[in-house]
Structure 1
Amino acid sequence: MKRMNLFLVVILSLSFSLSSCSIQTGVMSDNRFVIDLIVKMNQGDYWNTLRSGAEAAAKEFNVKLQFRAPNYEDDISGQIELVNQSIQNGPDAVILAASDYMGLAQVTDRIAYHNIPIISIDSEVGSARVKTYVGTNNYEAGQLAAKRMIELIHESGQIAVMNFVQAAKNASQREEGFQDYVARFPNVRVVDIQYSQSNQRNAEEITRNWLAQYPSLDGIVALNAESSIGVGREIQRSGKGGKVKVIAFDSPPETMGLLQDGVVQALILQNPFNNGYLAVKNAVDIIEGRNVPERMDTGIKLIDLDNMLWPENQKLLIPFVK
């Protein structure tokens, strides 16, 4: 019964992820606020869910939402160009998930120069002109991933870290939190840290090389959704599921299936739907002259087979279900 329920969770999550890709902002009257949402990548379960949250808020607050993103998360120049296009169009606010903390700083300052308020989402940007940040406490997320991995390997062993885009602030914050926690345990060694560029195939290849280079490897921590999928696939393909422990981020259907199969031992869940929703809500508040908090932490949760089917956790795994 538990397995059937879990497959229902996976199927529902997949169907909603697919439907979120096809959602389009409706035709709005000219007097409505226009908000540009510029994220790191135009594909992937995490970004689709974040977009759906933003669209839900746009509908509720009568806003025209314009979604913009490059094809790949490491396309920094492509994201800068999208921001420049947004500035030319003159929206009422810009919500930005910066792929590069410093690389997007100058163009973010340009947004503010044109008197367009900026809301940072998911990953911060190196500009003092940002009005508010909405998203995960990424340092704490890295610490939580480290804590569970240390428990799984009984405070002794070799682990590797699959990060994503080195210049992204959330990537560096997760890595810093992870490293700071692991440093407390002298018998745990981090053998390598690599960057997948949020590319599943890159993550697969890096994992394959790790398994060959470090035959005694005890665990891998993958710090975002695309990296997690790649790591999980290669661990499953190699037949080392359960032997090499895996901590993953986020909850694409494939990763949830790997958790079910014992290839992944735990997921660090963010709340992308709430991130998108609250970013749009904050943008509307700023446009209308209301104060907003400087930072809004949308929380994290560790999910494993023991708590995956709890009702409150299914709401995180499938935010579209009330």
Structure 2
Amino acid sequence: MKKLVVCLAVFTLAMSAMFAGAAFAAEKPYNIALIIKATDSDFWQYVIVGGTNYGLEFPEVAKVTNYGPPSEADIDKQVAIVEDVIASKPDAIVIASTSSDATVPALERAVDEGIVVITIDNKVNTDKVHSFLATNNTVGGALAADKMVEAMNAAGIPLKGKVAIVSAMAGIQVLDDRDAGFTEQMKKIAPEIEIIPPRYVDNDIIKALGVAEDLITANDDLIGIFADNNHTGDGVSRAIAEQKLEGKIMVTAFDSDPEEIKALESGAIKALILQDPYGMGYKGCDFAVQVLDGKEVPKYVDTGAVAVTKENMNDEEIKGLLDPMLKKKQ
């Protein structure tokens, strides 16, 4: 009887090892689903350019298909997209999940079904994913504060008065981290400045414009606004430009799109904190392929944050970050 038990145990272990090894026994080219947060934002289009370029460069290795809801506010729609993608049985999913929690059950099920899952931009609250590539948003927020104070000093604005935060959405971890990093750094380097709590705009440019106008009207001593993504940057910079307040209210913002780039050139925005959305899409797909090939990849990769001002925006090493469409292969 003991021999039988031992034999069964050995057989079970052998079968487990066999199935573990076969979990990613897919044929090339691997089918990779790249799921972004929203199709209405240039930032996420830059992610798509990165992922698409990877597939074009290595057609024998990967076929990349893109998915995403219209807006970052469409969290339920993104969850439904994830469910549909899992049902189509891709070899891998590379996803920027808007919510840290809403997609977790589906992503955990995907891993259990043998699908490689790589997350980018926003951390999801599970340890099951194979890798996570993202900006350290707390550091990026602090960098935005540094650049704002530099702009104030350059404009001869005393470090007294109020600074506001216009945030795309409430309860989104990456945005919370940016706002917290900005706030803590401002307290350190400009302790006499009062920080107005974040105003949320549902990731809507027109709402961001309206909130910025309200803040300007209600606060005569407003000397700065931090916009924590490209849509808020677009809205805030419009308010500054329309009222010709480039020399009075210093604006720093996250990410880049054509409107933010124009605002940087005009001085409505003093600095943009750039992530690497192209790299997230490209490297995310590459990491998926490496895992499918049986290779090890880091659990977390900091994709970096760079401050861009009018002075350095034309540097060669900056151009590709400022406008990743320049890298588009088709």
Task: Please tell me the TM-score bracket, short chain as reference.
Answer: 0.7 to 0.9
1:60 offset after TM fit, Å? 2.2
State yes or no: 1:174 paired with 2:178.
yes
Q: TM-score, normalised by structure 1?
A: 0.87
Amino acid at match of 2:201: S
Contact 2:49 2:324 in 1 (8 A): no
How far does the alpha carbon of each residue in 1:117-159 deviate from its partner, in whole angstroms, 9 at most, with x for none?
Answer: 2111111111111111112111111110111123333443310
Instruction: State the structure with more CA Rg.
Output: 2
State yes or no: 1:298 paired with 2:303.
yes
Structure 1 partner of 2:245: 240
Structure 1 partner of 2:92: 93
Please list every run of 5 or more consecutive structure 2 residues that lacks an aligned counterpart in the other structure.
Answer: 1-26, 154-158
Q: Secondary structure at the match of 2:222?
A: coil
2:278 to 268, 273, 280: 273
State yes or no: 1:261 paired with 2:260.
no
Moved more, 50-59 or 181-190: 181-190
How far does the alpha carbon of each residue in 1:237-268 deviate from its partner, in whole angstroms, 9 at most, with x for none?
Answer: 12222211110222211111111111111111
How far does the alpha carbon of each residue in 1:166-203 deviate from its partner, in whole angstroms, 9 at most, with x for none?
Answer: 23221111112112212223202111311222211111
Amino acid at match of 1:58: G
1:270 offset after TM fit, Å? 1.3
Alignment of 1:215-234 (within 5 A): 215-234=220-239
Structure 1 partner of 2:161: 157
1:82 offset after TM fit, Å? 0.4
Amino acid at match of 2:70: N
Contact 1:150 1:156 in 2 (8 A): no
Contact 1:36 1:66 in 2 (8 A): yes
Moved more, 271-280 or 242-251: 242-251
Amino acid at match of 1:164: A
Q: How far, CA to CA, are the matches of 1:45 and 1:216 in structure 2?
A: 33
Structure 1 partner of 2:48: 51
Structure 2 partner of 1:198: 203
How far does the alpha carbon of each residue in 1:214-246 deviate from its partner, in whole angstroms, 9 at most, with x for none?
Answer: 121100011111110011111111222221111
Q: How far, CA to CA, are the matches of 2:325 and 2:71 in structure 1?
A: 26
Q: Sequence identity of aligned pairs in percent? A: 30
Structure 2 partner of 1:103: 102
State yes or no: 1:249 paired with 2:254.
yes
Q: How far, CA to CA, are the matches of 1:235 and 1:67 in structure 2?
A: 35
Q: How far, CA to CA, are the matches of 1:320 and 1:240 in structure 2?
A: 30
State yes or no: 1:37 paired with 2:34.
yes
Q: How far, CA to CA, are the matches of 2:312 and 2:184 in structure 1?
A: 27
Q: How far, CA to CA, are the matches of 2:177 and 2:134 in structure 1?
A: 13
Amino acid at match of 2:172: A
Q: TM-score, normalised by structure 2?
A: 0.85
Please list every run of 5 or more consecutive structure 1 residues that lacks an aligned counterpart in the other structure.
Answer: 1-29
Contact 1:156 1:188 in 2 (8 A): yes
Q: How far, CA to CA, are the matches of 1:105 and 1:158 in structure 2?
A: 39
Structure 2 partner of 1:72: 71
1:321 offset after TM fit, Å? 4.5
Contact 1:50 1:274 in 2 (8 A): yes
Moved more, 102-111 or 65-74: 102-111
